[in-house]
Amino acid sequence: MVYPEMQIDSSSRAFCLQYAHSGGLSTMDFEQLKTFQLVSRLKSFSRAAEKLGVTQPAISAQVRSLENEVGARLFDREGGRVTFTAAGRLFEPFAEHCLQCHSHILAGVSELYQSPRGEISVSTSEATSLYVLPTVFAQFKKLYSRVHLSIVRSERSRTLEAVFSREVDFGIVSLPVKDSRLLTHNIHKDEVVLVTSMSHPLADRDTVKLDEILQYPLLMMKHGRQREKINHFFHSRDVQPRVAMELESSELLKRLIGAGIGMGFLPHTNVSADETAGLLKTMKVEGMRVQRELSLVFRKDKTLTRAAHAFLEVATNGARSVPSVSKVKNKPA
């Protein structure tokens, strides 16, 4: 494994050397640095406390202890907002570097063992976690039982934010992803289909025409790539569908369709089991072809552990484009 050296500017490096020579590192511990890092990322003492499962006074005490050791205030707290002081801004890359070294040491020792271990966290949408990831996770756990897997369910923008802030190892989002700071690997593709209840007037059809859709109420996702593609289809035909309801949850959308409130568009993977069970009916729309493509994303400058690299290989089904750990370069995000 190749561990990239973190880039620290000259002023921060001088601060690190001066502080180390003063003997300050003898009492500073990694828990204080982790607390500092989490507060700086979340910009909130209370959210950091909630994230770590401790009280806010405990977080404040750790930061105060760290500030005493450094000899300067690291955060300004005014009106509920938390921002860096000049000293905090200078101290931040030093803390990040120390924590990365700590992580690399633990990962390096873990590499002495043949089997991957540790934890992998993945952020993705509700629907992907329900209908795409279970198969991937089952296959991975069968091969690597000592690795703990966790799913963080979030909408697309929050998933990307979590990847950038290193809150999770990987994100799974719909394509396209246009950000040079991320590596993307396609893991799933399926077609978006029209879905109705079994009692709907169109339920006996396999294909319907556009003008037939316009006669019935339509349930739609409120946001997202899928909604954008469907909107583009209707606009290109210069028609306006009868949108009866807009929803944040694709799972709720499916349930309302099943209850007969309206018809809607969903990825076929999300409804295939319901169709097989005779609960829902799917059909194609003449002239319409909307696909959903999902991609596994992670930071280009992320150092992949053996466990993370194993998950990447399983999720992408051994894609040739998967980079080796030693080829993941360190670039500032």
The rounded radius of gyration (Å) of the Cα atoms in the chain is 25
Question: In the chain, what are the helix, strand and coil shares in percent, each to the nearest 5?
Answer: 45, 20, 35
Residue of 184, 209, 176 lying closest to 300 (CA atoms): 184
- pLDDT tens-digit map of 259-269: 999 999 999 99
- Looking at every residue in the chain, the average pLDDT score rounds to 84
pLDDT tens track for 281-292? 999 999 999 999
Whether 227 contacts 220, CB under 8 Å: yes
**pLDDT in the model for residue 269:** 93
Residue 318 reports pLDDT greater than 50:
no
Q: How far apart are the first and last CA of the chain?
A: 21
Give me the residue label for tokens 């490096």.
13
Of 215, 208, 211, which is closest to residue 194 (Cα–Cα)? 208
Q: For 137-161, what is each residue's pLDDT tens digit?
A: 999 999 888 899 999 998 888 999 9
How far is Cα 1 from Cα 105, in angstroms, rounded to an integer? 11
Q: What is the CATH number of domain 118-188+293-327?
A: 3.40.190.10
Bridge partner residues of 281 (DSSP)? 196
The Cα–Cα gap between 134 and 218 comes to 29
What is 189-292's CATH number, 3.40.630.150, 3.40.190.10, 3.40.640.10, 1.20.1440.20?
3.40.190.10
Euclidean distance between CA atoms 318 and 297, whole angstroms: 15
Domain boundaries for CATH 3.40.190.10 within the chain = 118-188+293-327, 189-292
Q: Which of 312, 328, 330 is nearest to 320 (CA)?
A: 312
Question: Which residues belong to CATH 1.10.10.10 in the chain?
Answer: 10-110
Task: Report the C-alpha gap between 65 and 59 in whole angstroms.
Answer: 10
Residue for token digits 């020792």? 109
CATH class of segment(s) 10-110: mainly alpha
Q: pLDDT per residue over 89-135, tens digit each?
A: 999 898 888 888 888 887 777 664 556 778 899 999 989 999 998 99
Single out the residue of 4, 3, 94, 79 nearest to residue 40, CA to CA: 94
